[in-house]
Amino acid sequence: MKIRVERDGLADAVAWVARSLPSRPPVPVLGGVLLDAGAEGGSDALTVSGFDYEVSATVGVPATIADGGRTLVSGRLLADITKALPAQPVEIAVDGARASITCGNARFSLPTMPVEDYPQLPAQPELAGEVTGEAFAQAVSQVAVAAGKDDTLPMLTGMRLEITGSTLTLVATDRFRLAMREFSWQPAEGLGDAAVLAPARTLADAAKSLGAGGGTVRVGLASGDGLLGLAGSGRYTTTRLLDAEFPPYRQLLPSDHTSRAVLQVSALAEAIKRVSLVAERGTQVRLEFADGSLRLSAGGDDEGSAEEELPVDYQGEPVTIAFNPGYLVDGLGALHADRAELTFTTPNRPALIKPADDNGDVVPGYLYLLMPVRLPG
């Protein structure tokens, strides 16, 4: 193999692929990136791939190919090297068991690993639909915030993708909060309704990097093989689906409310962060709603205490309700709106947060359901 490739394209490609590589590969080859020159019938592209049986990542880089071939080198090392190279064309050549990288006056020689031992990359699953990258990345990040991080209940570390005609619904919950986003997309023809559960963290990472490139993201689904594929901006990634039952979440969504408040998101989020400084280990921040004003307080008699008042557009009886400040700030941040609508009934029933427009009307498509915490006494 002997190729010439632009430094920036190569560095971006290798950095992206290396990100999904395992930090502790059980087999050394899984810590490698596969460089494949001229794989697809003599095309002028270098394909960079990584795979650890869970997640695969593949990206093409334009290259001048003098001599095609495949080689496998340590992903982390190659990422560090390409990042540090000067802005000049990079030549990669493989001779025997070593790969040499030349860029300007810098030369590197890396040991290669046997390509034959590398697992077969999974094929891209069949197209399920398309959506703009930006919208997809935003939707996934809005929902991923509520996914569980604890492995005790694997189903809660996942994000559910529900395809119903031209509507794509994303949901995640960690038992304390639930985020749901519905938006329309362009489903592939002849696609039936489907629902799958994908690891939320992997999906969030993939959506963010594919969405950043602009353009559209193509979502592929192979439920039989348990694979979800995402493709966009010349990048392809697949992830293994979670084989777990997602809780029946629709019954959790409250159908009515007795109190409704409309708030400025940034002012409220900042006030919560300030007040919760005295809340030991982020235990709780209390929200006292009264006509026209919201009083935030945290802490108590035995420790420091803090309070702050904000104007609020409030309808309902005066209520005091307490939340985990971290979860509340997460929810407000995920709205991507200047104003928020908060609706609830009693201090021990879940509250619903939705984005609102300048008139205080709800912007449909997103909701964040948050369980309050027990008030002292």
Partner 1 sequence: MRLVIARCQVNYAGRLTAHLPMATRLLLVKSDGSVSVHSDDRAYKPLNWMSPPCWLIEDGNLWIVENKAGEKLVITIDNVVDEIEHDLGAEPGLVKDGVEAHLQELLAEHITTLGDGYSLVRREYPTAIGPVDILARDSEGIAVAVEIKRRGEIDGVEQLTRYLELLNRDPLLAPVQGVFAAQQIKPQARTLAEDRGIRCVTLDYDALRGIEPDEFRLF
Chain positions contacting partner 1, by CB under 8 A? 22, 24, 26-27, 150-153, 173, 175-178, 247, 252, 348, 350, 369, 371-374
CA distance 367 to 178: 8
CA distance 4 to 64: 5
| Token pair belonging to 186 | 């362009």
Among residues 62, 4, 59, 65, which one has the least CA distance to residue 34? 59
Kindly state the helix (H) or strand (E) to which residue 10 belongs, with its residue range: helix 7-19
CA distance 263 to 268: 7
Q: Distances in Å between the alpha carbon of 109 and those of 68, 77, 100, 345?
A: 19, 11, 4, 66
Q: How far is the CB of 372 from partner 1 (least distance, A)?
A: 6
Nearer to partner 1, 185 or 368 (CB): 368
Q: How far is the CB of 369 from partner 1 (least distance, A)?
A: 7
Nearer to partner 1, 27 or 127 (CB): 27
CA distance 336 to 142: 8
Q: C-alpha angle 229/231/233, rounded to 5°?
A: 165
Q: How far is the CB of 193 from partner 1 (least distance, A)?
A: 24
**CA of residue 331 relative to chain centroid, distance:** 15
Nearer to partner 1, 150 or 309 (CB): 150
Q: How far is the CB of 129 from partner 1 (least distance, A)?
A: 29
Q: Which residue has the tokens 């990048």?
A: 235
- Contact partners, residue 144, CB within 8 Å, separation at least 6: 159, 172, 179, 200, 201, 203, 204
Q: How many residues does the chain have?
A: 377
Q: How far is the CB of 245 from partner 1 (least distance, A)?
A: 10
Nearer to partner 1, 151 or 358 (CB): 151
Nearer to partner 1, 88 or 348 (CB): 348
Nearer to partner 1, 61 or 179 (CB): 179
Contact 327, 357 (CB under 8 A): no
Nearer to partner 1, 169 or 186 (CB): 169
Nearer to partner 1, 24 or 281 (CB): 24
Q: How far is the CB of 254 from partner 1 (least distance, A)?
A: 11
The SS3 assignment for 364 reads coil
Q: How far is the CB of 150 from partner 1 (least distance, A)?
A: 8
Among residues 183, 174, 211, which one has the least CA distance to residue 368? 174
Q: How far is the CB of 81 from partner 1 (least distance, A)?
A: 25
